[in-house]
Amino acid sequence: MAVSPHHPGATLFSNPVFLSAVFSLLLAQFVKAIVNLLRLPKHSLREALLTFAWKTGGMPSSHSALAVSISTSIAFKDGLNSDFFVLSAFFALVVIRDALGVRHSSGIQARTLNTLGRKYSQRFDEPWIPIKEVMGHTPSQVFVGSLLGFFIALAFSTL
């Protein structure tokens, strides 16, 4: 059954901005899951699927890939002078800055709190429930994610 060109889904699934965003996010998460499996062979297939579906941090940055792919594909579609490109470029900068700085700092603080909590728990025989340690991204993880997003957007915008 063919989809009518006037059907709302027909325009979404032929939109290079949408396609590059979805594919950059999925490919970055897939690569991240593979990197984790190769780097830490003790990881199970279940953990790899969890990484693919949900986990943040690691190589490459899916946040950066997504934000850069949206910005790049909008630049190709609407031009560098468009309001949408300017908005998306600044949004990408905020996402990348957050991945490098804020989330990284929060992860370091969470790791420190968990260390203190475990020591407190052992010393005073009190239960400690560890908090999630989201470590953010290193510059190389953000760089690779950004390149991935750029080239995926380039492909969807020019091919």
Please report the pLDDT score of residue 8 as a whole number. 60
Number of domains observed in the structure of the chain:
1
Would 3 be classed as within a structural domain? Answer: no
pLDDT (tens digit per residue) in 132-148: 777 678 889 999 999 99
Average pLDDT over residues 86-111: 87
Establish if 108 belongs to a structural domain: yes
Please, are residues 27 and 145 in contact by the beta-carbon 8 Å criterion?
Answer: no
Structural domain harbouring 28: 8-158
